[in-house]
Amino acid sequence: MENYFLAVDIGASSGRHILGLVKEGRIVLEEIYRFENGMKQEQGHLSWDVASLFAEIKEGLKQCAKLGKIPVSMGIDTWAVDFVLLDENDSILGRAAGYRDDRTSGMDEAVYKIISQNDLYKRTGIQKQIFNTVYQLMAVKEKEPELMERAKTFLMIPDYFNFLLTGVKKQEYTNATTTQLVSPVTENWDYELIRMLSYPEKLFVPLSMPGTRVGQFTEDIAKEVGFSCSVVLPATHDTGSAVMAVPKVPEKDDSQEDILYISSGTWSLMGTELLAADCSEESMEANFTNEGGYDYRYRYLKNIMGLWMIQSVKKELAERGETYSFGELCDLASKETISSLVDCNDSSFLAPESMIKAVVDFCRSKEMPVPESAGEIAAVIYNSLAVCYKETAAELESITGKTYTNLHVVGGGSNAAYLNELTAKQTGKTVFAGPGEATAIGNLLAQMIAYGEFKDLKEARESVYQSFAVKEYKPV
Give the tens place of pLDDT for each residue, 410-453.
998 999 999 999 999 999 999 999 999 999 999 999 999 999 99
CA pseudo-torsion sign 377, 383, 387, 389: positive
- Whether residue 268 sits in one domain with residue 149: no
> What single DSSP character describes residue 221?
H
In total, how many domains does the chain have?
Answer: 2
Q: Tell me how far apart the alpha carbons of residues 110 and 262 are, in angstroms, rounded to a whole number.
A: 34
pLDDT tens per residue across span 168-185: 999 999 999 999 999 999
Domain boundary among 213, 232, 251: 232
- Whether residue 355 sits in one domain with residue 394: yes
CA pseudo-torsion sign 185, 187, 189, 191: negative
Question: What pLDDT is attached to residue 103?
Answer: 93
Q: Count CB atoms within 10 A of the CB of residue 417.
A: 15
Question: What pLDDT is attached to residue 252?
Answer: 66
Question: What pLDDT is attached to residue 183?
Answer: 98
Q: Tell me how far apart the alpha carbons of residues 103 and 280 are, in angstroms, rounded to a whole number.
A: 30
Question: Helix, strand, or coil here: 316?
Answer: helix
- Whether residue 202 sits in one domain with residue 59: yes
- Whether residue 261 sits in one domain with residue 194: no
Give pLDDT < 70 ranges for the chain.
Answer: 251-257
Cβ(404)–Cβ(260) below 8 Å: yes
Cβ(101)–Cβ(198) below 8 Å: no
Name 51's Cβ contacts closer than 8 Å, sequence gap at least 6.
Answer: none
Cβ(330)–Cβ(417) below 8 Å: yes
pLDDT tens per residue across span 367-416: 999 999 999 999 999 999 999 999 999 999 999 999 999 999 999 899 99
E strands within 114-164? 153-156
- Whether residue 252 sits in one domain with residue 202: no
| Helix residue ranges per DSSP H, 251-350 | 281-285, 308-319, 326-334
Q: Tell me how far apart the alpha carbons of residues 194 and 394 are, in angstroms, rounded to a whole number.
A: 35
CATH code of the domain containing 111: 3.30.420.40
Question: What pLDDT is attached to residue 338?
Answer: 97
Q: Tell me how far apart the alpha carbons of residues 211 and 451 are, in angstroms, rounded to a whole number.
A: 9
- Whether residue 21 sits in one domain with residue 142: yes
- Whether residue 445 sits in one domain with residue 356: yes
Q: Which of 77, 82, 159, 238 is catalytic?
A: 238
- Whether residue 255 sits in one domain with residue 146: no
Q: Tell me how far apart the alpha carbons of residues 149 and 199 are, in angstroms, rounded to a whole number.
A: 9
- Whether residue 273 sits in one domain with residue 179: no
Cis status, amide bond into 435, omega within 30 of 0 = yes
Question: What pLDDT is attached to residue 256?
Answer: 54
Question: What pLDDT is attached to residue 254?
Answer: 55
Model pTM? 0.92
Question: Helix, strand, or coil here: 430?
Answer: strand
Domain boundary among 232, 249, 274: 232
Domain that holds residue 216: 4-232
Domain boundary among 186, 207, 232: 232
- Whether residue 136 sits in one domain with residue 258: no
Question: What pLDDT is attached to residue 88?
Answer: 97
Question: What pLDDT is attached to residue 43?
Answer: 79
**Whether 82 is catalytic:** no
- Whether residue 169 sits in one domain with residue 108: yes
Question: What pLDDT is attached to residue 100?
Answer: 82
- Whether residue 163 sits in one domain with residue 248: no
The residues that bridge with 455 in the sheet, in sequence order, are none
